[in-house]
Protein backbone atom coordinates (compact mmCIF):
# COMPACT_ATOMS: atom_id res chain seq x y z
CA UNK A 1 0.00 0.00 0.00
CA UNK A 2 1.08 3.52 -0.75
CA UNK A 3 1.58 5.52 2.45
CA UNK A 4 3.50 8.58 1.30
CA UNK A 5 3.95 10.94 -1.61
CA UNK A 6 7.40 12.47 -2.03
CA UNK A 7 7.48 15.57 -4.19
CA UNK A 8 10.36 17.13 -5.98
CA UNK A 9 10.19 20.92 -5.62
CA UNK A 10 11.57 22.73 -8.68
CA UNK A 11 9.52 21.65 -11.68
CA UNK A 12 6.73 19.86 -9.79
CA UNK A 13 5.50 22.32 -7.16
CA UNK A 14 6.99 25.52 -8.61
CA UNK A 15 8.93 26.56 -11.68
CA UNK A 16 12.20 28.06 -10.54
CA UNK A 17 14.16 26.86 -13.57
CA UNK A 18 13.78 30.28 -15.22
CA UNK A 19 15.43 31.89 -12.16
CA UNK A 20 18.19 29.28 -12.20
CA UNK A 21 18.66 30.00 -15.90
CA UNK A 22 18.93 33.76 -15.38
CA UNK A 23 21.47 33.21 -12.61
CA UNK A 24 23.65 30.82 -14.60
CA UNK A 25 23.39 32.99 -17.71
CA UNK A 26 24.58 36.06 -15.85
CA UNK A 27 27.55 34.11 -14.52
CA UNK A 28 28.35 32.60 -17.92
CA UNK A 29 28.30 36.03 -19.56
CA UNK A 30 30.67 37.40 -16.95
CA UNK A 31 33.03 34.51 -17.64
CA UNK A 32 32.70 34.84 -21.44
CA UNK A 33 31.14 31.40 -21.84
CA UNK A 34 28.08 30.75 -23.98
CA UNK A 35 25.04 29.37 -22.18
CA UNK A 36 21.66 28.91 -23.80
CA UNK A 37 18.19 28.02 -22.59
CA UNK A 38 18.75 24.62 -24.14
CA UNK A 39 21.95 24.15 -22.12
CA UNK A 40 19.91 25.01 -19.03
CA UNK A 41 17.58 22.05 -19.65
CA UNK A 42 20.49 19.76 -18.79
CA UNK A 43 20.67 21.27 -15.31
CA UNK A 44 17.16 20.25 -14.28
CA UNK A 45 17.36 18.39 -10.96
CA UNK A 46 21.16 18.51 -11.03
CA UNK A 47 23.12 19.77 -7.99
CA UNK A 48 24.74 23.19 -7.99
CA UNK A 49 28.32 21.92 -8.30
CA UNK A 50 27.43 19.46 -11.05
CA UNK A 51 25.54 22.26 -12.82
CA UNK A 52 28.64 24.46 -12.84
CA UNK A 53 30.74 21.57 -14.13
CA UNK A 54 28.30 21.15 -17.03
CA UNK A 55 28.24 24.89 -17.72
CA UNK A 56 32.03 25.17 -17.81
CA UNK A 57 32.69 22.05 -19.87
CA UNK A 58 36.34 21.99 -20.94
CA UNK A 59 36.90 25.49 -19.53
CA UNK A 60 36.86 23.91 -16.09
CA UNK A 61 40.64 23.43 -16.29
CA UNK A 62 41.12 27.22 -16.38
CA UNK A 63 39.80 27.59 -12.84
CA UNK A 64 41.13 26.81 -9.37
CA UNK A 65 39.03 25.14 -6.68
CA UNK A 66 38.59 28.50 -4.96
CA UNK A 67 37.43 30.16 -8.18
CA UNK A 68 34.96 27.32 -8.73
CA UNK A 69 33.52 27.87 -5.26
CA UNK A 70 33.34 31.62 -5.82
CA UNK A 71 31.39 31.10 -9.05
CA UNK A 72 28.90 28.81 -7.31
CA UNK A 73 28.40 31.45 -4.63
CA UNK A 74 28.06 34.22 -7.21
CA UNK A 75 25.36 32.34 -9.13
CA UNK A 76 23.56 31.52 -5.92
CA UNK A 77 23.57 35.21 -4.98
CA UNK A 78 21.86 36.06 -8.27
CA UNK A 79 19.38 33.22 -7.79
CA UNK A 80 18.53 34.35 -4.28
CA UNK A 81 17.85 37.87 -5.58
CA UNK A 82 15.10 36.41 -7.78
CA UNK A 83 13.76 34.31 -4.91
CA UNK A 84 12.99 37.39 -2.82
CA UNK A 85 10.21 38.20 -5.29
CA UNK A 86 8.54 34.80 -4.93
CA UNK A 87 5.01 34.37 -3.62
CA UNK A 88 2.03 32.01 -3.58
CA UNK A 89 1.39 32.97 -7.21
CA UNK A 90 4.55 31.03 -8.10
CA UNK A 91 2.89 27.68 -7.33
CA UNK A 92 2.55 25.72 -10.58
CA UNK A 93 -1.02 25.27 -11.87
CA UNK A 94 -2.54 22.26 -10.09
CA UNK A 95 0.01 22.23 -7.25
CA UNK A 96 -2.35 23.58 -4.59
CA UNK A 97 -5.02 21.03 -5.56
CA UNK A 98 -2.45 18.23 -5.54
CA UNK A 99 -1.30 19.03 -2.00
CA UNK A 100 -4.92 19.16 -0.82
CA UNK A 101 -5.69 15.83 -2.47
CA UNK A 102 -2.70 14.13 -0.84
CA UNK A 103 -3.80 15.42 2.56
CA UNK A 104 -7.42 14.42 2.06
CA UNK A 105 -6.35 10.87 1.28
CA UNK A 106 -4.50 10.76 4.59
CA UNK A 107 -1.14 10.16 2.97
CA UNK A 108 2.13 11.45 4.34
CA UNK A 109 3.70 14.18 2.27
CA UNK A 110 7.35 15.19 1.89
CA UNK A 111 9.66 17.33 -0.22
CA UNK A 112 12.90 15.88 -1.59
CA UNK A 113 14.73 18.59 -3.52
CA UNK A 114 18.32 18.82 -4.70
CA UNK A 115 18.23 22.51 -3.89
CA UNK A 116 20.00 24.09 -0.96
CA UNK A 117 17.46 26.89 -1.27
CA UNK A 118 14.44 24.59 -0.89
CA UNK A 119 13.42 25.91 2.53
CA UNK A 120 13.54 29.51 1.27
CA UNK A 121 11.46 28.57 -1.77
CA UNK A 122 8.86 26.77 0.37
CA UNK A 123 8.68 29.76 2.67
CA UNK A 124 8.18 32.07 -0.32
CA UNK A 125 5.35 29.85 -1.54
CA UNK A 126 3.97 29.75 2.02
CA UNK A 127 3.57 25.95 2.07
CA UNK A 128 6.30 24.85 4.54
CA UNK A 129 3.72 23.72 7.09
CA UNK A 130 2.08 21.30 4.62
CA UNK A 131 4.87 18.73 4.75
CA UNK A 132 5.68 16.00 7.26
CA UNK A 133 9.34 16.37 6.39
CA UNK A 134 11.59 18.32 4.05
CA UNK A 135 14.82 17.00 2.53
CA UNK A 136 17.02 19.40 0.59
CA UNK A 137 20.50 19.81 -0.87
CA UNK A 138 22.00 19.56 2.62
CA UNK A 139 20.31 16.29 3.62
CA UNK A 140 22.52 13.74 1.87
CA UNK A 141 25.94 13.67 0.30
CA UNK A 142 25.16 11.88 -2.97
CA UNK A 143 22.83 13.92 -5.15
CA UNK A 144 20.21 12.54 -7.59
CA UNK A 145 20.48 10.22 -9.63
CA UNK A 146 21.66 8.46 -6.43
CA UNK A 147 18.63 7.14 -4.49
CA UNK A 148 19.94 8.61 -1.20
CA UNK A 149 17.66 11.63 -0.83
CA UNK A 150 14.52 9.53 -1.35
CA UNK A 151 15.66 6.75 0.99
CA UNK A 152 16.57 9.35 3.60
CA UNK A 153 13.10 10.90 3.24
CA UNK A 154 11.29 7.54 3.57
CA UNK A 155 13.25 6.82 6.72
CA UNK A 156 12.28 10.17 8.23
CA UNK A 157 8.63 9.47 7.36
CA UNK A 158 8.84 6.01 8.89
CA UNK A 159 7.69 4.24 5.71
CA UNK A 160 9.24 1.64 3.42
CA UNK A 161 10.55 2.66 -0.03
CA UNK A 162 7.91 0.53 -1.79
CA UNK A 163 5.21 2.46 0.09
CA UNK A 164 6.31 5.72 -1.55
CA UNK A 165 5.33 7.45 -4.76
CA UNK A 166 7.82 10.02 -6.09
CA UNK A 167 6.76 12.90 -8.35
CA UNK A 168 9.73 14.16 -10.39
CA UNK A 169 10.29 16.45 -13.39
CA UNK A 170 13.97 15.61 -13.96
CA UNK A 171 15.61 12.68 -15.70
CA UNK A 172 18.06 12.33 -12.81
CA UNK A 173 15.19 12.45 -10.31
CA UNK A 174 13.27 9.64 -12.01
CA UNK A 175 16.51 7.62 -12.08
CA UNK A 176 16.93 8.24 -8.35
CA UNK A 177 13.35 7.21 -7.53
CA UNK A 178 13.69 3.98 -9.55
CA UNK A 179 17.00 3.24 -7.84
CA UNK A 180 15.24 3.72 -4.49
CA UNK A 181 12.60 1.10 -5.49
CA UNK A 182 9.80 3.62 -5.23
CA UNK A 183 6.96 4.20 -7.69
CA UNK A 184 8.53 6.78 -10.01
CA UNK A 185 6.13 9.24 -11.60
CA UNK A 186 7.56 11.55 -14.24
CA UNK A 187 6.12 15.03 -14.67
CA UNK A 188 7.01 16.33 -18.12
CA UNK A 189 7.71 15.18 -21.67
CA UNK A 190 8.38 11.58 -22.62
CA UNK A 191 11.91 12.36 -23.81
CA UNK A 192 12.79 13.57 -20.33
CA UNK A 193 10.87 11.39 -17.87
CA UNK A 194 9.40 8.61 -20.01
CA UNK A 195 11.56 6.03 -18.23
CA UNK A 196 9.51 6.26 -15.03
CA UNK A 197 6.70 3.88 -13.99
CA UNK A 198 4.06 6.48 -14.92
CA UNK A 199 4.06 9.89 -16.51
CA UNK A 200 1.94 13.02 -16.60
CA UNK A 201 2.56 15.96 -18.94
CA UNK A 202 2.41 18.51 -16.15
CA UNK A 203 1.45 18.99 -12.49
CA UNK A 204 -1.98 20.20 -13.59
CA UNK A 205 -2.53 16.86 -15.35
CA UNK A 206 -1.91 14.71 -12.26
CA UNK A 207 -5.09 12.96 -11.16
CA UNK A 208 -3.88 11.41 -7.95
CA UNK A 209 -7.06 9.58 -6.98
CA UNK A 210 -7.37 7.87 -10.34
CA UNK A 211 -3.67 7.09 -10.40
CA UNK A 212 -3.59 5.54 -6.91
CA UNK A 213 -6.72 3.51 -7.55
CA UNK A 214 -5.12 2.13 -10.73
CA UNK A 215 -2.02 1.09 -8.78
CA UNK A 216 -3.99 -1.44 -6.72
Beta carbon nearer to ligand B16, 114 or 127:
114
- If one asks whether residue 136 binds Mg ion (CB under 5 A), the answer comes out as no
Looking at beta carbons, which pairs linking 124-129 to residues 24 or more positions away fall under 8 Å?
A: 124/83, 124/86, 124/87, 124/90, 125/13, 125/14, 125/86, 125/87, 125/88, 125/90, 125/91, 126/87, 126/88, 127/13, 127/91, 127/99
Q: Which of residues 78-117 bind ligand B16 (CB under 6 A)?
A: 113-117
- If one asks whether residue 51 binds ligand B16 (CB under 6 A), the answer comes out as yes
Please identify, among the stretches 29-37, 46-54, 96-104, 196-204, the one whose residues bind ligand B16 according to the rule CB under 6 A: 46-54
> Residue 1 catalytic?
no
- If one asks whether residue 48 binds ligand B16 (CB under 6 A), the answer comes out as yes
- If one asks whether residue 171 binds Mg ion (CB under 5 A), the answer comes out as no
Beta carbon nearer to ligand B16, 139 or 208:
139
Pairing of strands 108-112, 4-7: parallel
Contact residues: ligand B16, CB under 6 A: 8-11, 20, 43-48, 51, 76, 113-117, 137, 170
Amino acid sequence: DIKAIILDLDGVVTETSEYHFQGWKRLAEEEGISFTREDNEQLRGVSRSKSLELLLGDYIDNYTKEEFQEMMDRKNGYYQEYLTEMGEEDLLPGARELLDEIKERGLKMAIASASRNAKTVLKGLDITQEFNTISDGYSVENAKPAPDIFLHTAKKLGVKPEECVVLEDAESGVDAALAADMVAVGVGPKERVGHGDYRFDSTADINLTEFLDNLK
